[in-house]
Structure 1
Amino acid sequence: MVERVAGPLSLPDDWPAHADISLSLNRMGTFDWDLDSGRLHLDAPALDVFDLCPDEYDGRPGGLETRVPPTESIHLDELVSQALRDGSEGYGSYFRVRRRDGSLRWTHVQGVIRRDTAGRAHRVIGLVRDAAQELADSAARHELGTLRRVGAGVVESTTAALAHARTVQDVIDVLKQSHGLAHLGASSLVMGLVDAGRIHLVAEGPEGSYVPGTRITRTDEAYPMSEVVRTLLPRFIESAQEFADGYPMLWPSIEDLGINAAAYLPLIAQARPIGALGLLYRDRIGFSAEDRNLLVALGSSIAQSLQRAVLFEQEHDLAEGLQQAMLPRRIPAVPGAEIAVRYRSARLGRDIGGDWYDVIPLPGGRVGAVIGDVQGHDTHAAAVMGQLRIVLRAYAAEGHEPATVMARASVFLHELDTDRFATCTYAEADLTTGVIQLVRAGHVDPLLRDTDGSCRRLPLPGGMPLGLSAAFGGLDYPVETVELDPGQTLLLYTDGLVEQPGADLDDGMQLLATLVRDGPRDLQHLADRLCEVVDARGGEDDVAVLLLRRGGTRAPRSGGRLHQRVARDDAEGLATARHMIRAAVTAWGARERSDAIELAADELITNALVHTDGGATVVVRVLPRTERWEPGRPGEGLPGTGPPGAVPSEPEPLLERPGTGRRLRVEVEDGSSALPHRRDAGESGLSGRGLVLVDELADDWGVESRGSGKCVWCEFAVPDRPGH
């Protein structure tokens, strides 16, 4: 302890110390701010706090801009303005000053506001002092704690926003649109993803802030992002000089940006680097231990979100590819019709669904259109969809009635040993007459767009969904018949096009009708427009769309149609059928080929009566020049007409006959599904010549499966009538 000296005290000549000396020794200065004139006087100690020489200061607040960073200046302006407005006697605040060497030092200002008798502020007198040592006291610790809480809040809010990011673009949008990086003080960012030893830049902010030539860089190059990817360690750059010394290839390109600090973080997921993030700063020198921990935590959160987004996009692309592979690879050309199909997978899900469409060429120039949706959004739903599409196509191609097609498909799905059901609409169209038979199994009603653009709903009675109707014994599917005029369009779609969570189905139907009514006239453009709406809206359900428009002019009608039923052992019926054929040939101007036509028809009828059980139905008609046909050699694809063991090929799409005249067609239907064979004649020479003879006499012949059996047909070119 210091001993007290007895006797009279001997005091220094300058005791007690003057206030200016006390303030100066404690690194305090005074200021006097005249608000009316705008003059701000700083004494020598105050100028020393700001690290300014007297000749560097012009006596006004603007003269401090070189020492007070913009963020601190904004904070002080708001603080003083609030104190002047609310009648406060003074104010105080901590802020940072940039010294001559570029370092930042904490400073404190305390001001007393002088007001006139009317309460108007006209003068501020106060102290400004170096507060670097005060970070240890409670006030500084409280302010520092606030900054830390802000930083932690940035990580928490950014992490919460990233939790909803599903794609890489979503992650980028969170980083660029969030205010989190601004709170951290970063002026710009760059982010890249690693792929095959290269870093692909996927984001930069603000726009245009990336360095030219760094869109794609190798991981072994001398760039900070490459370094953190190689080492899996963050890289904190604390000064412009350190940046220039460490990365001479990069620094010349960013030197003009005013960057003096940076943090490069490896984005690590499951112990491997998937990318890197760079945060660049203009007004920051140094990173504390807590700053580094905070940024590393932010990088970890971003990495986890990026990994989820990359996996989501990969799985979504795979699922969408599988779904597309299960849909028809091509839509056949259908003379007399224009068809557009589209499929869109769910935007908010990664599993494949069970939506599908199909277009099926049918016997007699008809066409089937199918739209359906299997319950669920997973691989099982897609597998069921693939099987159901195939069997429904097969039932339709066999010639079954639309109601029978739907009933058999329901039984198939029920027996498939699955808990899934499916909704479906099947339309069978005869484009020559415009007659369409529609069957609905629990599906949404189709729409009809008229030639003037107006659109209306086609309410169909319908039946239960496929699978459920078989389970509950409700296989009755009513058929609705409508006529499609030339230029009218039938719209088939799945419920994902009209259903939205929380919205009424009728509202969705009305919105769709409006879109179709106001949409493009071109069918392909209209389909694209509907898909654009689906893509913009997003959703958790797939969407399939099928548009079918009948040709703009009415197809020419046939010259007539006659039919006769012939029972087994019915000589009178057989004679009547022969007479009908002879009369038709004469009436329709085919007298020159009457012998060949009658002989070929007789062979087909005889084969049906001899080789099948039950009778046969004979149909004779004239096909107009635009009638469709199945190309190929007569009898091509039939058992017995190709090499041994050959499998019949899939029928080609129905095409328009390029011939110059009409065609007379003879059809013989029977109840047997066994297809006829062209065979060599037996030893007696009395059998086996039927189809060989037909092949020689007719211009074309073939066989079509029908729901109740088959139809064997042959065609003969006949001259046009005068005026045709």
Structure 2
Amino acid sequence: WPAGTGDLEPALADVGPGGLAVLPLPAGGRVAGACLIGWDAPHDFGPDERALLTASAGLAGQALMRAHAFDAEHELVGMLQRQLLPRRLPKLPGAVAVARYLPSTAGLELGGDWYDVIPLPDHHVALVIGDVQGHSAGAATLMGQMRTALRAYAVEGHPPDVVVSHANRLLTGMETDLFATCVYVDLDMEEGSAWCVRAGHLPPVLRHPDGSTEIAEVEGGPPLGVVTQADFPMSPLRLRPGTLIALTTDGLVETPESDIDEGMDRFAHALAVSAPGHLGLVADALLGNARRNDDVALLLVRYDGMALRPLRESWSVWRLPEAVRHARRFTRRTLRSWGVPDDVVDGVLLIVSELVTNALVHTDGKVRLDLTLISGRLRVAVADASPRTPVKPTSIGWEATGGRGILLVEAMSATWGTLPVSGGKQVWSEIPVGGA
């Protein structure tokens, strides 16, 4: 026995009273474990048996090391995948969203399925579901990249077809052998309208308030990452308050015994007999029969309609000497028609003057003023063609001729900020209006 293990032999006496072989399991220059083999009857170890045991120990050590590496990779990539999926879905005005994800039980139990719900300006929301080819760490990593890309392009204010086209060009430029499929739905909460773009993915399934279901007839483009200059047409979706939008991946509907069309019919039937008032239970029931040799993503959104629709008006600001005065006149006329108190109107006019002036002085191109009133809050937004965001000065000397506008907007607003929009930015301010 090695030095310092004098008590080891008595402790092992019951393992092999007739004979005992203690085999270190070497792997990669270190010991991965030990194997103990005991005999009840007296046993002599011949040279051939010793050689066999030694060789077997080496093979077992290598196998054990590979198993440890597999477990470590599985844990690491599983953690990565959990971090890349949304931790929670946002609360939506006029809709309820529920999502589920089940990993595969084959291989590393990893995959490239993902979902996302992206709040957008003007009470729009983007619904996304997708699937990266393969079940590997690379698929999970690419999934995170595609989810981030689609979210970034959506927040920039691009229309759905442009969002998907940008993501396609990004993936083709990555020089990867993997491709991805996805569905992108832009849902207008105010109007109850939706536009869908499909890139090689399963179409949405709609469950209407009367319990009928339909597999949406949505034009499709190729999977992402296959053709650089591909077209991704937009298709409208018919929605009414109470309509359930269901997006899923092929792991839920495709089995070795049936094709995708049969699986989609089963999926639609399961939605038809469900109770959409409890989306969490519906999602759990739909996943109950999912095959687990592929990962599954499921996104359910019930459109209920906004209880209170906002008031909106817009004004195109022309680059004229009296442009700011015209913008103020439009604002005063609009707010008075909405019943906004005069003391609030005065503050709003000051904010409009500053934002419109900044856009005209510091940018070129079109300038648009948007006014929105909902739930006692007024939103003033000025969009221009420059991506450069205004910077709040840290200090201003008494002789400075500029820089006070943003400080004034901040002082007059409950909150303010900037948003990237297609071709530029939007600077916005929110002001409480009380009971208006």
TM class, shorter-length: 0.7 to 0.9
SS in 2 for 1:514: helix
Equivalent pair of 1:399/1:706 in contact (CA under 8 Å): yes
SS in 2 for 1:577: helix
SS in 2 for 1:710: strand
- Of 560, 563, 567, the match for 2:318: 567
How far has the Cα of 1:515 moved from its partner?
2.3
1:364-379 matches, within 5 Å, as 364-379=122-137
1:272-421 matches, within 5 Å, as 319-350=77-108, 352-421=110-179
How far has the Cα of 1:326 moved from its partner?
2.7
Question: Mean Cα displacement is larger for which, 428-437 or 702-711?
Answer: 428-437
Change (3 A) 1:308 1:524: farther
How far has the Cα of 1:604 moved from its partner?
0.5
Alignment pair present for 1:524 and 2:280: yes
Equivalent position of 2:307 in the other structure: 555
- Of 186, 190, 200, the match for 1:432: 190
SS in 2 for 1:466: coil
1:67-146 matches, within 5 Å, as none
Equivalent position of 1:592 in the other structure: 343
Equivalent pair of 1:402/1:428 in contact (CA under 8 Å): yes
- Of 260, 280, 283, the match for 1:505: 260
Equivalent pair of 2:199/2:222 in contact (CA under 8 Å): yes
* Larger-gyration structure (1/2): 1
Letter in 2 for 1:538: R
How far has the Cα of 1:487 moved from its partner?
2.7
Q: Which whole-Å CA distance do the structure 2 matches of 1:313 and 1:677 have between them?
A: 49
- Of 370, 374, 377, the match for 1:663: 377
Equivalent position of 1:105 in the other structure: none
SS in 2 for 1:674: coil
Letter in 2 for 1:584: T
Change (3 A) 1:557 1:308: same
Cα-to-partner distance string for 1:94-114 (whole Å, 9 max, x where unaligned): xxxxxxxxxxxxxxxxxxxxx
Equivalent pair of 2:354/2:405 in contact (CA under 8 Å): yes
Q: Which whole-Å CA distance do the structure 2 matches of 1:325 and 1:419 have between them?
A: 24
Change (3 A) 1:220 1:342: farther
Letter in 1 for 2:292: G
Unaligned ranges ≥5, structure 1: 1-218, 234-265, 278-285, 287-299, 626-661
SS in 1 for 2:122: helix
Q: Which whole-Å CA distance do the structure 2 matches of 1:382 and 1:486 have between them?
A: 36
Q: Which whole-Å CA distance do the structure 2 matches of 1:232 and 1:564 have between them?
A: 88
Equivalent position of 2:51 in the other structure: none
Change (3 A) 1:692 1:314: closer
Change (3 A) 1:622 1:467: same
Count of residue pairs the alignment pairs up? 403
Aligned-pair identity in percent equals 40
Cα-to-partner distance string for 1:11-49 (whole Å, 9 max, x where unaligned): xxxxxxxxxxxxxxxxxxxxxxxxxxxxxxxxxxxxxxx
Change (3 A) 1:593 1:416: same
Equivalent position of 2:49 in the other structure: none
Letter in 1 for 2:264: M
Unaligned ranges ≥5, structure 2: 1-8, 42-55
Equivalent pair of 1:665/1:715 in contact (CA under 8 Å): yes
SS in 1 for 2:220: coil
Alignment pair present for 1:451 and 2:209: yes
Q: Which whole-Å CA distance do the structure 1 matches of 2:250 and 2:193 have between them?
A: 25
Cα-to-partner distance string for 1:108-132 (whole Å, 9 max, x where unaligned): xxxxxxxxxxxxxxxxxxxxxxxxx
Equivalent pair of 1:493/1:546 in contact (CA under 8 Å): yes
TM-score under structure 2 length normalisation: 0.81
Question: Mean Cα displacement is larger for which, 331-340 or 435-444?
Answer: 331-340
Equivalent position of 1:720 in the other structure: 435
Change (3 A) 1:315 1:600: closer
Change (3 A) 1:606 1:573: closer
SS in 2 for 1:436: strand
Change (3 A) 1:412 1:516: same
Equivalent position of 1:231 in the other structure: 20
Q: Which whole-Å CA distance do the structure 2 matches of 1:524 and 1:585 have between them?
A: 42
Q: Which whole-Å CA distance do the structure 1 matches of 2:370 and 2:434 have between them?
A: 20
Change (3 A) 1:223 1:544: farther
How far has the Cα of 1:388 moved from its partner?
1.6
Letter in 2 for 1:417: E
Equivalent pair of 1:269/1:307 in contact (CA under 8 Å): no
Q: Which whole-Å CA distance do the structure 1 matches of 2:154 and 2:35 have between them?
A: 51
Equivalent pair of 1:320/1:345 in contact (CA under 8 Å): no
How far has the Cα of 1:468 moved from its partner?
1.9
Letter in 2 for 1:340: V
